[in-house]
């Protein structure tokens, strides 16, 4: 049976590779690095689910989602929006979210898989008839010793989960720092605009005063000329 297709649209190559590693063997994962290429990929492959980052250059996640919903055949594809800055999402779409599911970064691997399985359950592997028949045949079971230490797979899973959280945590910190710097820059620009507006008002007032004084001088000159002519 063909695996379900999951399209990951995220400008971070680390997040894309991490998600692909987590979903490996469960789904067919495709990647796109921004909203435009993600829209093109969605039109081309018609994925069964889209994992969509919100904070991206050019087109953010919500703009990309709106474009996807206008494509025939993609109106009902499940979308999971991911972001470490939930407040930026709620600025565009108030809670509760109805157009998409939301997953906040950083997220653990099992949480991501669980969310996706809510929409795309993993198909159970068919058991061959010979294997099924062998279940009813007598068999000698080998007694396995109780493991005193965690299995190698458990250790690998824990390391993968830790790496996942670390990568997302670093990305989240970078995003928050960038947003903070932009907000600081915007504040400075607003302050400069206010200062320029205040200066402009003072210049206008000075110009009015000079104009008023010029008119007064003209009146005085006319009076002087009138006296001289007499």
- DSSP per residue, 190-226: HHHHHHHHHHHHHHHHHHHHHHHHHHHHHHHHHHHHH
Sequence-distant (≥ 6) Cβ neighbours of residue 207 within 8 angstroms: none
Q: How far is CA 176 from CA 11, 69, 105, 124, 172, in A?
A: 15, 29, 12, 41, 6
- For residues 40 and 68, the answer to whether their CB atoms sit within 8 Å is no
Query: Cα torsion at 59, 3, 171, 69 (round to 10°)?
Result: 20
Cα(47)–Cα(77) distance, rounded to whole angstroms?
A: 7
The DSSP-derived string for 115-146 is HHHHHSPPPPPPPPHHHHHHTTS--PPPPPPP
> Which pLDDT tens digits describe the chain residue by residue (230 residues)?
678 999 999 998 888 998 999 998 899 999 999 999 999 999 999 999 999 999 888 889 999 999 999 999 999 999 999 988 888 888 888 888 888 999 998 888 899 999 999 999 866 545 455 544 444 444 444 444 444 445 665 665 566 566 666 666 666 666 666 666 666 777 778 788 888 888 888 888 888 888 888 888 888 887 787 777 76
Cα–Cα distance measured from residue 81 to residue 113, given in angstroms and rounded to the nearest whole number:
14
């Amino acid at each position: 049976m063909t695996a379900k297709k999951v399209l990951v649209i995220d400008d971070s190559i680390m997040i894309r590779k991490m998600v692909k590693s987590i979903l490996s063997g469960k789904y067919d994962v495709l990647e796109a690095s921004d909203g435009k290429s993600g829209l093109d990929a969605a039109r081309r492959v018609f994925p069964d689910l889209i994992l969509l980052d919100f904070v991206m250059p050019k087109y953010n996640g919500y703009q990309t989602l709106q474009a996807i919903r206008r494509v025939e055949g993609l109106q009902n594809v499940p979308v999971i929006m991911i972001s470490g800055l939930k407040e930026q999402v709620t600025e565009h779409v108030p809670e509760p979210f109805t157009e998409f599911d939301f997953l906040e970064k950083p997220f653990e691997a099992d949480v991501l898989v669980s969310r996706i399985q809510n929409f795309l359950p993993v198909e159970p592997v068919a058991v061959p008839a010979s294997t099924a028949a062998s279940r009813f045949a007598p068999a000698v079971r080998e007694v396995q010793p109780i493991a005193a230490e965690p299995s190698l797979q458990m250790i690998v899973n824990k390391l993968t989960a830790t790496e996942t959280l670390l990568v997302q945590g670093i990305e989240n910190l970078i995003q928050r720092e960038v947003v903070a710097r932009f907000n600081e820059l915007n504040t400075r620009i607003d302050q400069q605009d206010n200062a320029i507006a205040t200066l402009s008002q003072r210049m206008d007032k000075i110009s009015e005063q000079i104009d008023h004084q010029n008119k007064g001088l003209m009146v005085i000159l006319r009076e002087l000329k009138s006296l001289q002519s007499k």
